Amino acid sequence: MVLASGAGARQFFTLLGIDVPLEGVAGYQVLLSDSGVEFRNSVIYGDGGLCFTPMRRGLQIGGTIEFARRGAAPNSRRAQIILDKARRVLPQLKMESHEFGVGYRLFLPDTKPIIDRSKRLPNVLMAIGHGQLGLTLGVTTGRLIAEMASGRSPSTDLSPFSAYRF
């Protein structure tokens, strides 16, 4: 079994007897159902801190995070900042039909993910806590987990990513 989940992962770590200071960083986004602009791929506008991603439901624009206490209500002002920045970058955007959203990305205090095997249940592999880099690091993490699952030694030293480092 591979544990690669969201904020509910805390419960799994408790069951595995591992103390992990895992927190969710709130990542805000705006979805424009009819943006009037076509993107074929995700485009990151680094100077503006935005990412434009075409989705089936419309154009998703992400670009701000918030370190908030656990259980804090979403702060829609963060999403409004994204909408305002996007308007400056692409003034032709249609913004009449928009939806604000927030998702929680798992984050660890040392900013490193967990890529490890449970000592209590050796058939449980863990790949979690990539913060904002889950998609970016997903291929590499997936390869390492596949190596571990097939009984091979990982091609990279995984000790810095141990679940037991805390």
User: What is the tally of helices (H) and strands (E) in the chain?
Assistant: 3, 8
Report DSSP state, residue 132: G
Residue 140 sits in the same domain as residue 114: yes
> Which of 73, 44, 47 lies closest to 132 in space, CA to CA?
44
Task: List, for residues 71-118, the tens digit of each pLDDT value.
Answer: 788 888 999 999 999 999 999 999 889 999 988 888 888 989 999 999
Residue 12 sits in the same domain as residue 70: no
The separation between the first and the last C-alpha atoms of the chain, rounded to the nearest angstrom, is 22
Q: Say which CATH number the domain at 56 has.
A: 3.30.9.10
User: For all residues of the chain together, what is the average pLDDT?
Assistant: 89
62, 82, 107: which is the final residue of a domain? 107
Task: List, for residues 119-157, the tens digit of each pLDDT value.
Answer: 999 999 999 988 777 767 888 999 999 999 999 999 999
Residue 41 sits in the same domain as residue 100: yes
Residue 29 sits in the same domain as residue 80: yes
Is residue 166 a part of any domain in this protein? no
Rounded CA gap, 76 and 87, in Å?
A: 17
Is residue 90 a part of any domain in this protein? yes
Residue 149 sits in the same domain as residue 122: yes
Task: List, for residues 157-166, the tens digit of each pLDDT value.
Answer: 999 999 999 9
Residue 122 sits in the same domain as residue 135: yes
42: CB partners within 8 A, 6+ apart? 51, 52, 53, 54
Element at 149 (helix H, strand E): helix 134-149
Q: Residue 139 region, left (φ>0) first, then alpha (ψ -120 to 50), else beta?
A: alpha
Residue 36 sits in the same domain as residue 90: yes
Residue 68 sits in the same domain as residue 38: yes
Residue 69 sits in which domain range? 23-107
Helices (H), 31-133: 76-89
Residue 63 sits in the same domain as residue 136: no
Is residue 122 a part of any domain in this protein? yes
